[in-house]
A = this chain, B = another copy of it.
């Protein structure tokens, strides 16, 4: 689906799915990942609520962002491993995006390119 040898798979998932996703990635042969706490909203309109008589709007939900850079394994397999583990079927399950990467370096060894990933 891309002509890049190295790709970054970026997924935004429910925080309580992180453990399952890490396990699924390790089983797919792609154990390396970077995790960031984020918040966000998808296509749903903001939810309105009441608290002590005041109306408030919840429009950003806590999510976890996972970034996995892959080279040996097809990015599609990594996308599927994440989606399988993160799926509940309810709105808010998240998204996965694939971005091209033009180069990589492993700092300890100085290795560059596909072998550095």
Interface residues in chain A, defined as those with a beta carbon under 8 Å from any beta carbon in chain B: 1-2, 4, 6-8, 11-13, 22, 31-43, 45, 59-60, 63, 65, 69, 75-76, 79, 82-83, 86-108, 110, 116-117
B31 touches A40 (CB 8 A): no
How far in angstroms is the closest Cβ of chain B from A71?
11
Of chain B, the residue at the smallest CB distance from A85 is: B107
B39 touches A97 (CB 8 A): no
A98 touches B95 (CB 8 A): no
Q: Which residues in B have their C-beta under 8 angstroms from that of A1?
A: 102-103
Q: Compute how far the CA of A45 lies from the CA of B8 in the bound complex, rounded to whole angstroms.
A: 21
Q: Compute how far the CA of A100 lies from the CA of B98 in the bound complex, rounded to whole angstroms.
A: 9
